[in-house]
A and B are shown apart, each in its own frame.
Chain A
Amino acid sequence: NAGVMQNPRHLVRRRGQEARLRCSPMKGHSHVYWYRQLPEEGLKFMVYLQKENIIDESGMPKERFSAEFPKEGPSILRIQQVVRGDSAAYFCASSPTTKGGNEQYFGPGTRLTVT
């Protein structure tokens, strides 16, 4: 059973460009979470999605950031007009149920560098 897949692993964007990060959850998992890790910091929750629904986006910046998890295909985290402060590692996790007690399985992350 393949784990959580994320691509690309590394992404370089110039200021003002768009960044698209993809996440394919583990087989059988229908819940996806995105976290951001700034250098020397822990992970910060961004958004929680189920298929075609955003359940909790309390950690998402109000502007430039959006996320989707379509019926078919991977979940996408989109950052428009990137700025240097967006440089970070973005991790996706998946879990099989909605209960908070079920553990989340993490992907290897996408490291975004904004130049």
Chain B
Amino acid sequence: QVQLEQSGAAVRRPGASVKISCKTSGYSFATYHVNWVRQATGQRPEWMGWVNPDGDGTAYAQTFRGRVTMTSNISISTAYMELTGLTPDDTGLYFCARGLSLGWFDPWGQGTLVTVSS
């Protein structure tokens, strides 16, 4: 079955960066985009952007543009999301999810908790 497995929780100081991996299996990696969605505790999910493994095209939400970089390694069916210039407001759960350039998200990775604290 289709699975997305994310890297583990991370704790960072303000100003640092974090890079999360999302290893996929069970489908043709190049056929779908990998989207990234952030969810602060008790808040609605917030779309961050996507990477298209077929050519490495990307699209980022305006909120994160300039601080986020999404990449992929097609040889190991893995996508990455790096966020720089972290502040405490970046604390939350970060999910990868399979999707298209615009559509629904299915399935989702288990989530990676990022905590930003001094």
Q: Do A and B bind each other?
A: no
